[in-house]
């Protein structure tokens, strides 16, 4: 399912989580021009398993899925220290204010309603991947500074 022959650390990883095969295929087609590896999942539990094994930068997460809802998946991903920095873009047909509030309460980073417009999706994904890159670099710098401080304390 890889969209890129390169497996370098600079290639972004995107997980598309949707129980509807047509929706997954459409999102994959929309993302074809982005240099990234794409994996898919078919239900809430499969999504949690793939987040752990695939380690995506971004999850395009449907809300209405079997086994666990997107709200439940989002909360579990964000509450887990190992996965809390994974960006989540909820992509759903639900568009009531209460649904958006539930998504935000679960920890989603952004929200996009179906039917998805290609340009909106691409811009959101592009921006979220840029933000993820900045957050990753910030974390690397924090760790570097911490290692220097720890080294100074040992003297």
Q: Within a domain: residue 5?
A: no
Segment 135-140 mean pLDDT: 91
Mean pLDDT score of the chain: 89
What is the rounded (10 degree) CA torsion for 32, 17, 62, 6?
A: -30
Q: Within a domain: residue 147?
A: yes
Q: Within a domain: residue 6?
A: no
pLDDT at 13 over 80: yes
Question: Cis peptide before 115, with omega less than 30 degrees from 0?
Answer: yes
What pLDDT band is residue 154 in, cutting at 50, 70 and 90?
Answer: low
Segment 6-23 mean pLDDT: 81
pLDDT at 128 over 70: yes
Show the 3-state SS of 65-112: CCCCCHHHHHHHHHHCCCCCCCEEEEEECCCCHHHHHHHHHHCCCEEE
pTM of this structure: 0.85
Q: Within a domain: residue 1?
A: no
pLDDT at 10 over 90: no
Of 3-17, 33-47, 55-69, 71-85, which gets the smallest average pLDDT? 3-17
What pLDDT band is residue 57 in, cutting at 50, 70 and 90?
Answer: very high
**Rounded Cα distance, 50 and 57, in Å:** 12
Q: Within a domain: residue 3?
A: no
Q: Within a domain: residue 53?
A: yes
Pairing relation of β-strands 12-17 and 110-113? Answer: unpaired
Higher-confidence residue of 10 and 108: namely 108
70 burial class (0-12, 13-18, 19+ CB within 10 angstroms)?
A: buried
Segment 4-27 mean pLDDT: 80
* 99-102 own/partner pairs: CB under 8 Å, 24+ apart: 99/63, 102/71
For residue 23, what are the domain limits?
12-153
Q: What CATH number does the domain containing 127 carry?
A: 3.40.50.2300
What pLDDT band is residue 98 in, cutting at 50, 70 and 90?
Answer: confident
**Rounded Cα distance, 21 and 127, in Å:** 26
* Domains: count for the chain: 1
Q: Within a domain: residue 104?
A: yes
Q: Within a domain: residue 4?
A: no
pLDDT at 8 over 60: no
Segment 18-44 mean pLDDT: 94
């Amino acid at each position: 399912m890889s969209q890129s022959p390169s497996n370098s650390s600079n290639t972004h990883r995107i997980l598309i989580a949707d129980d509807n095969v047509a929706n997954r295929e459409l999102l994959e087609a929309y993302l074809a021009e982005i240099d990234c590896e794409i994996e898919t999942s078919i239900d809430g539990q499969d999504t949690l398993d793939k987040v752990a094994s695939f380690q995506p930068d971004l999850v395009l997460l449907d809300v209405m899925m079997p086994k666990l809802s997107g709200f439940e998946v989002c909360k579990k991903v964000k509450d887990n220290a190992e996965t809390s920095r994974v960006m989540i873009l909820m992509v759903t047909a639900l568009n009531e204010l209460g649904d958006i509030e539930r998504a935000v309460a679960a920890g989603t980073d952004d929200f996009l309603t179906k039917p998805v417009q290609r340009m909106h999706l691409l811009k959101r994904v592009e921006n979220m991947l840029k933000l993820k890159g900045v957050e990753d670099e910030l974390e690397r710098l924090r760790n570097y500074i911490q290692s220097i401080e720890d080294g100074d304390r040992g003297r």
